[in-house]
Amino acid sequence: HFSVGGDYYDCISLNNNEFGFCIADVSGKGISAAILMSNFQANLRALFSDEITLDQLVTTLNKRVMASAKGEKFITLFIGKYIVDRKELQYINAGHNPPLLYEEGKKKLSTLMKGCVGMGMLDRIPAIEMGVVKMQEPTKMFCYTDGLVELLDESGIEFGTEKIEKHVTNTHPIHENINDIIESHNILAGNTAIFDDISILGIEFTPNS
């Protein structure tokens, strides 16, 4: 049995040198949550451009969510922009599950934590910290919603972040990492241990190509 979902992910070309992306999850379930996320998607697509900074974008999105949800629901969001010629990733994590960033040459795994509170939690966001990462080598980014870490295996144990890390920390393409997770845990085969929406967004950065 499946109900209306409230996850959202997107990739948006801003110009020939920049692209934006996001993954988001709304609190609660059902029609009201889905409508709020649908409105959020429309607002984000209307606002996201190469002329707006991420902190300006997040501030405006928060106001729109507050106006729609009136404090009854909130949205967690990870939003980023990649500037190709500068090999620079800019991001804001608004209360979302921290994406994983894996630098293949250094074999270095990090989490993208910098940001602010979720959208719709407060009338005014008290502080926003934008993260900046300079890409120096082939790097994979794995974004997901909390439905993935809450997935239960046959023993009733949560999937957790450690299993995600094991799937990502290798030189295989990100789409293979994602397929391995989906297939090994029967995510698309009606797994009865799925209690929430699951969304995954993977991106590969190849700064020297």
pLDDT digits (tens, 9 = 90+) for 30-52: 898 999 999 999 999 999 999 99
Number of domains in the chain: 1
Contact indicator for 79, 99 with CB cutoff of 8 Å = no
Give dist(CA 99, CA 140) in Å, integer. Answer: 10
First to last CA, the chain: 45
CA 35, 116, 99: angle at the middle one, nearest 5?
Answer: 80
Is residue 2 assigned to a domain? no
Is residue 181 assigned to a domain? yes
pLDDT at position 19 is 97
Give dist(CA 130, CA 114) in Å, integer. Answer: 6
Is residue 1 assigned to a domain? no
Contact indicator for 135, 89 with CB cutoff of 8 Å = yes
**Which residue type does 138 have?**
P
163: left (phi over 0), alpha (psi -120 to 50) or beta: alpha
Contact indicator for 17, 84 with CB cutoff of 8 Å = yes
Is residue 139 assigned to a domain? yes
- Domain of residue 89: give its range: 7-205
User: DSSP assignment of 90-148, as one string?
Assistant: EEEEEBPPPPEEEETTTTEEEE---EESPBTSSSS-S----EEEE--S-EEEEEE-HHH
pLDDT digits (tens, 9 = 90+) for 71-80: 899 999 999 9
pLDDT digits (tens, 9 = 90+) for 99-117: 999 999 999 999 999 999 9
Q: CA 14, 168, 92, 57 torsion: positive or negative?
A: positive
Q: Which two tokens stand for residue 69?
A: 């949800």
pLDDT digits (tens, 9 = 90+) for 136-169: 999 999 999 988 888 766 667 777 889 899 999 9
Is residue 140 assigned to a domain? yes
Can you give the CATH number for the domain in which 86 is found? 3.60.40.10
Average predicted confidence (pLDDT) for the chain: 91
pTM metric for this prediction: 0.92
Q: Which residues of 1-12 are buried (b: 16+ CB within 10 A; e: fewer)?
A: eeeebbbbbeee
